[in-house]
Amino acid sequence: MSVLRGTGLGVAVRGRRLIDGIDVELRAGELTGILGANGAGKSTLLKALAGLLPCSGRIALDGRPLHAYSIAERARLVAYLAQGHAAHWPLPVREVVALGRLPHGRGDGPHDDAVIERALHATDIADLASRNVLTLSGGERARVMLARALAVTPRVLLADEPLAALDPAHQIRIMQLLAAEAAAGLAVGIVLHDLTLAARFCTRLVLLGHGRVLAAGAPRDVLGDDLLAAAFGIRAVHFDHDGCTLPVPWQLTGVDG
Ligand SMILES: Nc1ncnc2c1ncn2[C@@H]1O[C@H](COP(=O)(O)OP(=O)(O)OP(=O)(O)O)[C@@H](O)[C@H]1O
């Protein structure tokens, strides 16, 4: 079931089209990966879907135009995790995660506490709860910001490169977590650059090139040789393991051997 649907989405800045005519849908129960080369328009698309950028076209949340929702309703229904995981205030980690509860009211009731604890544990930062967020490593801070987004308990989670800065164990842990959240009914859309993790964990992929959708569908249909060459200018080696076909980027196109 489509939860968030964008139709004919376009964003232009000073006459340049950053994304153009994009149709995309995020479905309940699915972890959708958004892929594409640097500058392809992934972050622009995610911000547009979150209602954070003026764009042309239509965005519907549960069948109703996104602009028909109040700001407060949108803050409860759509959680957006920005690229870069910047933190600006010297707050304890737990208070940063608790900010995710603010769209629901004061955020300090027993249910809020339970949601915050769950988010802290799910992202493996419970032992950092009292630390000043500004003193954390990049990967630790990335997990705090994801925990804050999870604490919103939204209908839709939009996360821009949530794996950036994470070690391999935490990459797997976070992808397992996002897949489990999706399986429990959340619609999840994430931008990522790791083709292997995308193939392994995402239920659907959207591949962008120059602000347009090159392909969308199941990972094995989107990560074929022709599309990888068109989107990234690479050739991949494909391994089959445990029912997954996993592409490993190998070389640039036009290179022999
Ligand atoms: N405010 C802006 N003004 C002008 N150009 C912009 C603006 N925002 C983004 N762009 C350009 O639009 C294009 C798409 O940017 P976007 O951040 O969406 O790319 P991306 O696919 O997320 O890239 P990356 O993988 O590097 O994060 C880029 O060429 C970028 O330089």
> In the chain, what is the straight-line distance between the N-terminal and C-terminal CA atoms, in Å?
44
Percentage of the chain beyond pLDDT 90 is 91
pTM across the whole model? 0.95
Residue 255, pLDDT score: 64
Q: Whose CA is nearest to atom 10 of ligand 1?
A: 18
Antiparallel, parallel or unpaired: β 31-36 and 56-61 = unpaired
More confident residue, 37 or 1: 37
8 Å CB contact between 53 and 10: no
Q: What does the pLDDT look like over 155-167, one tens digit per residue?
A: 999 999 999 989 9
What is the ipTM score, two decimals?
0.98
Please choose, from the candidates 27, 33, 3, 28, the residue with its C-alpha nearest in 3D space to the C-alpha of residue 221. Answer: 33
Backbone angles phi, psi at 245, to 5 degrees: -100, 120
Q: Ligand 1, residues 16, 42, 160: which to mutate, most atoms within 8 A of Cβ?
A: 42
SS3 category, 62: coil
Rounded to whole angstroms, the Cα distance separating 34 from 175 reads 14
Residue 88, pLDDT score: 83
Residue range 121-142: mean pLDDT, rounded:
94
Q: Is the CB of 54 under 6 A from ligand 1?
A: no
Residue 85, pLDDT score: 75
Amino acid letter, residue 126 = A
Q: Is the predicted pLDDT of residue 133 greater than 80, yes or no?
A: yes
Going from the Cα of 23 to the center of ligand 1, the distance in angstroms, rounded, reads 18
Q: What does the pLDDT look like over 63-90, one tens digit per residue?
A: 999 999 999 999 999 999 998 877 888 9
Q: Is the CB of 228 under 6 A from ligand 1?
A: no
